[in-house]
A and B are shown apart, each in its own frame.
Chain A
Amino acid sequence: MVTLTDEEKAMRDGRDGDAVAAAMDLLIRYADALGAAHLCETRNVAGTNTQPSPAKTKLFEEGGWSKAFAVISLDCDDDIEVPPMKVPTCQLQHGFGDDALGIMPYSERNIELQADAESFYSSKGVNVLATCTPYQVGNLPTYGEHIAWMESSAVVYANSVLGARTNCEGGASTGSASITGRIPCWGNHLVENRYGTHLIESGLRMTGFQDWGMFGYFVGDAVQEARPVMVGDLGQPDLADLKHFGAAAASSGGVEMYHIPGRTPDAPTLEAAFGGAAPPEPLRYGEAERRAIYDSLNSIGNSEDIDFVLIGCPHASLEQIGRVARALEGRTLSAGTELWVMTPRALRAVSDRNGWTATIERAGGRVLTDSCPAMSRVAPTGTKVFATDSAKQAHYLPAILGIEAWFGTTEECVDAAVTGRWRGSLTPAAVVR
């Protein structure tokens, strides 16, 4: 049984109202299910309240946002009033907003409902960042900070790249954390659970964004929910590379924490990555493994006629938007092919100022925000085949929309949007040894 402080007992017993008591009840049931000894204090919650879903719409129609929050975010059937957020809480990616109107078959009712939910939850103190990458736009946890985040790609980034501490939370645990400032102190919150479990030895240098995604997809498949440590002459990754790597590893597997000795903050050395324990026998990543991953990600592509190109999963960094703009400079998309770049609204504002949005729009593409085709389960009308530079989107979207997928480099995807044809092929590996 989880041990509570006096403050936590007071919250459980109703001192701060029914909603807080319900939140503590959920956190206690959750902590006991996990076997957590106690709760940790957190002042950084990233969750989701505004994303429309059929179940949420039904609850909203029955009893407003309070009902939806009670059932979905607190697992509580009582009538409660939503209190102000107790600690800083942000909304992750959600459905499409106004910018979807007239360009995709997305429910206007969902757009209206989400706008209403945004007004309601922002009045309760939720920061509407509306992105899967809060760390790009104003929520950058510090090293060692206990946080309560959803979104598997953000969780793995926060733990591994930033050295913050979070488990892969869900709607009810983040909802409860947001009004109590507590989360079970279990798993990744505890130092002893953050050391590496598997050693991955790459014989290849990563040649860029695509390579990091394929490597992540390999690693996730190989270790599932464990904590891999990657070694080799990998090269210097940037924010977008590690964003892609982690998202891929959290899609083919359930990786929430990894180390790249010398690159990620919990692992200045290989020894530190394993907490002083002897590293296990390495798993090899070489040309054959890279080829197999590429083929697997492209196994759902059949027709080479491309209807739709998706860039920005997780939401594109500024540099990624700039690359697309440069690749589209002076070109025009093939008639019948759409190209969307997904990015946080705050980065879109910079893209607008930089002139990149105008360049992309002149070519016939779009820079969209808040969501993605997978979250909103929508693509341009008539899409049968899509191409993406994201291993995560290639993994999920075929299942969600029943369409074919091609996976390639950002430039191959832009080329497919311009020509309407998929002409991608695996770039040569940079073999180190």
Chain B
Amino acid sequence: MTSVAGTRLVLRGRGIVPGRVAGRALVSHETISGWGGIEPATGTIIERRHELYGVCFTGKVLVFPGAKGSSGWSGFFQSTRLMGTAPLAMVFTNLTTKAALGAIVTRVPTVTEFDDDPVAKITTGDRVEVDADNGLVVVYGPRPGHPR
């Protein structure tokens, strides 16, 4: 996989929900709340103090440092699955019960426990491939063949 043309970077971690998808990254530098932090009906961040206030994560590879706040975290992300607004994949830095259970019940490919910090290395808009079967995240940059 590291020999693919245009590859920028491979982050190695541990897959905790299997599967393999490719899509655009949405990077949050701040931790994310589930309950009180997202609206499952629309798949958006609703915490007013948050850097991604009003931004929709549906269909994106959601890259974030970890989960914060209420234990409703997993239930709210599970609701995004049930209401069709889930992210495409999850890539996060800090493994906690909230984030782990949330990823499982959202049923999207998820990788964590990286050799390098995905939040620092991935930029919103990057094309990324999440290979949770092998614990890899391949970052291609925003446009094929172009430097970021």
Q: Which of A11-63 contact B (CB under 8 A)?
A: 26, 29-30, 32-35, 48, 53-55, 58-59
- A71-B82, A399-B48 known; A152+B71 contact, CB < 8 A: yes
Quick check: is B120 within 8 A (CB to CB) of the other chain?
no
Quick check: is A417 within 8 A (CB to CB) of the other chain?
no
How many residues of chain B have a CB within 8 Å of chain A?
38
The smallest beta-carbon distance between B44 and chain A, in angstroms, is 11
Quick check: is B21 within 8 A (CB to CB) of the other chain?
no
Quick check: is A72 within 8 A (CB to CB) of the other chain?
yes
Cα(A172)–Cα(B71), bound, Å = 11
Which residues from A are CB-within-8-Å of B67? 254
- A34-B97, A55-B40 known; A398+B78 contact, CB < 8 A: no
The smallest beta-carbon distance between A170 and chain B, in angstroms, is 3
Contact with B along A139-164 (1 / 0, CB 8 A): 00000000001111001000000000
Cα(A250)–Cα(B33), bound, Å = 11
The smallest beta-carbon distance between A300 and chain B, in angstroms, is 7
Partner pick for B74 among A29, A171, A300, CB 8 A cutoff? A171
Quick check: is B134 within 8 A (CB to CB) of the other chain?
no
Quick check: is A114 within 8 A (CB to CB) of the other chain?
no
B104, A26: Cβ atoms closer than 8 Å = yes
Which residues from A are CB-within-8-Å of B83? 54-55
Partner pick for A58 among B68, B70, B82, CB 8 A cutoff? B82
B97, A187: Cβ atoms closer than 8 Å = yes
Quick check: is A332 within 8 A (CB to CB) of the other chain?
no
Cα(A253)–Cα(B98), bound, Å = 13
Cα(A173)–Cα(B97), bound, Å = 9
The smallest beta-carbon distance between B129 and chain A, in angstroms, is 21
Chain B residue, CB-CB nearest to A184:
B97
Main secondary structure of the interface of A (DSSP, over half): helix
Q: Which of A64-79 contact B (CB under 8 A)?
A: 71-72, 75
Which residues from A are CB-within-8-Å of B78? 55, 72, 75, 171-172
B48, A54: Cβ atoms closer than 8 Å = no
Quick check: is B66 within 8 A (CB to CB) of the other chain?
yes
A170, B102: Cβ atoms closer than 8 Å = yes
B105, A225: Cβ atoms closer than 8 Å = no
Chain B residue, CB-CB nearest to A154:
B71
Quick check: is A168 within 8 A (CB to CB) of the other chain?
yes
A250, B97: Cβ atoms closer than 8 Å = no
A151, B101: Cβ atoms closer than 8 Å = no
Q: Which of B105-142 contact A (CB under 8 A)?
A: 105, 107, 110
- A75-B104, A399-B37, A400-B46 known; A251+B69 contact, CB < 8 A: yes
Quick check: is A415 within 8 A (CB to CB) of the other chain?
no
Quick check: is A374 within 8 A (CB to CB) of the other chain?
yes
Which residues from B are CB-within-8-Å of A224? 31, 66, 68
A170, B82: Cβ atoms closer than 8 Å = no
The smallest beta-carbon distance between A411 and chain B, in angstroms, is 27
A172, B101: Cβ atoms closer than 8 Å = yes
Partner pick for B73 among A170, A300, A399, CB 8 A cutoff? A170
Which residues from A are CB-within-8-Å of B48? 300, 398-399
B36, A374: Cβ atoms closer than 8 Å = yes
The smallest beta-carbon distance between A29 and chain B, in angstroms, is 6
Q: Which of B27-55 contact A (CB under 8 A)?
A: 31, 35-37, 40-41, 46-48
- A54-B79, A399-B47, A400-B36 known; A30+B100 contact, CB < 8 A: yes
- A30-B104, A254-B69 known; A172+B74 contact, CB < 8 A: yes
Chain A residue, CB-CB nearest to B67:
A254
Q: Which of A390-416 contact B (CB under 8 A)?
A: 395-396, 398-400
Which residues from A are CB-within-8-Å of B98? 168, 170, 254
Q: Which of B51-99 contact A (CB under 8 A)?
A: 66-75, 78-79, 82-83, 94-98
Cα(A398)–Cα(B17), bound, Å = 33
A254, B66: Cβ atoms closer than 8 Å = yes
Cα(A72)–Cα(B35), bound, Å = 15
Chain A residue, CB-CB nearest to B30:
A224
Residue from A71, A72, A171, A400 whose CB has the most chain B CB atoms within 10 Å: A171
The smallest beta-carbon distance between A130 and chain B, in angstroms, is 16
Quick check: is B16 within 8 A (CB to CB) of the other chain?
yes
Cα(A282)–Cα(B79), bound, Å = 40
Contact with B along A307-328 (1 / 0, CB 8 A): 0000000000000000000000
Q: List 12 A-B contacts (CB under 8 A).
A: A33-B17, A59-B82, A72-B78, A75-B104, A75-B105, A150-B71, A169-B71, A170-B72, A172-B101, A225-B94, A254-B67, A399-B36
